[in-house]
Chains A and B, each alone.
Chain A
């Protein structure tokens, strides 16, 4: 068969999905994909097709996440679990280096940047592709982070376009989804209709094209493309939350002293869940772990959160002592000052911070409150234009 190329996509039958997994594994990739664990969909190593969450879907709302059986046996019927791909590129706890005493001085040996061979992410959603690009700007835009750089360089991305949406999604207004249009090696679009259960499959890179070669593919027919169109429309119609990326920075910067920060600060527990589940939050701290023998000491990097009181410790106190100031920092960084620092929005509209907030604080609702009240009290804030 000819080498599949960009253009009209190919079709992979549902029963042949296992062949894709086998192709990846035989090419030396460790496949990380969705699995059911602890009542949630979490990404982990997938060795065979049966480990995928076939026939599972999630129900999400602000402060709510439930996994349930679905009526059909779609493979990617769920939306997003609590954790994205971040831990695989930016590990939550990671050895940076070991220093050994050496005749009055010390020798530093950098920790391993990778954790075994190259990874293939299977099931990357459009918002997660966007999150990866945001992270690349953070970790590789200036001084490159060796861990992120090495892991990203070896990474294969197999995106899966969403075939439904969660109520917490707001990717269209963030211009990151729901369609997957770029940033993948391979993209799968799961179709389930009277025409059958199958995947539209498309390669975005040469590496992706090579991996498709051994698969039994057929060219997509008109009804496949029609099914996709109908599905995409259903997905978009199901998304009701919005946070317009074009307005975000201007509205936030014009309202840094808005009374809403106080209100949300009274609800926020400063638990830092939102920063832990956010696919782009990158703050970290370091830890020094000397060995008992005193011969060596290890330096670790650990995820940190701007919601912690100690995050802004300066001399005798914390700069951001109130919770409202920490919420303002998180939201204004994500939506506004991220542009200044990294040239993009820090939010991709995945909605995880909404789902996993134990008190159901909704970023889109907070933004709407800033924006509508800004119209009436905006003059007071005296903001900087975007």
Chain B
């Protein structure tokens, strides 16, 4: 178990997404980081709402879901410890593109998007390193979506 008083800088440093990033960069975003917990079934993010933060999952599981009026709520990807939720905080108009629901008790670190963008703007070398982590996540999720579209078990 972790210590009751969270060491946010330590947690940022150890999260697989940020592991190995420049300490100065992590220091710059530490102050803009909050921890947050959710119970099973709680909405973590909601489609169309402002995406003000980048979310790092520490414990638990978040299901990314799409909702349409004419069909049941559909879960398309689950995100677990060590993974991130979303890049909408980076890309205007900064609105979430899906719902995110905790599927079990979940703890995340939320980093303020405006601070993060400013830090990336100021530190191009760190920004490049950051992108080398973010782009593979996007690429992997795109590939997952493609395979899901293929419906490989459905033929």
Contact = CB atoms under 8 A, between A and B. Distances in A.
Complex: A in contact with B (CB within 8 Å) = yes
Interface of A: 315-317
Contacts of B155: 315-317
A316 B155 CA distance: 6
Interface in B141-155: 155
Nearest to A314: B155
Interface residues of B, number: 1
A316 B153 CA distance: 11
A315 B154 CA distance: 10
The 3 closest A-B pairs by CB, nearest first: A316-B155, A315-B155, A317-B155
A287 B120 CA distance: 68
3 contacts: A315-B155, A316-B155, A317-B155
A317 B154 CA distance: 13
Contacts of A317: 155
Interface of B: 155
Contacts of A316: 155
A316 to B, nearest CB: 4
A317 to B, nearest CB: 8
A318 to B, nearest CB: 12
Nearest to A316: B155
A315 B155 CA distance: 6
A247 B155 CA distance: 41
B149 to A, nearest CB: 16
A317 B155 CA distance: 9
Contacts of A315: 155
A344 to B, nearest CB: 37
A313 to B, nearest CB: 12
Nearest to B154: A316
B27 to A, nearest CB: 49
Nearest to A315: B155
A315 B152 CA distance: 11
A317 B152 CA distance: 13
B74 to A, nearest CB: 24
B79 to A, nearest CB: 32
A321 to B, nearest CB: 14
B101 to A, nearest CB: 34
A282 B137 CA distance: 50
Nearest to A317: B155
B151 to A, nearest CB: 11
A316 B150 CA distance: 13
B155 to A, nearest CB: 4
B66 to A, nearest CB: 27
A249 B155 CA distance: 35
A255 B1 CA distance: 58
B4 to A, nearest CB: 55
B153 to A, nearest CB: 10
B139 to A, nearest CB: 26
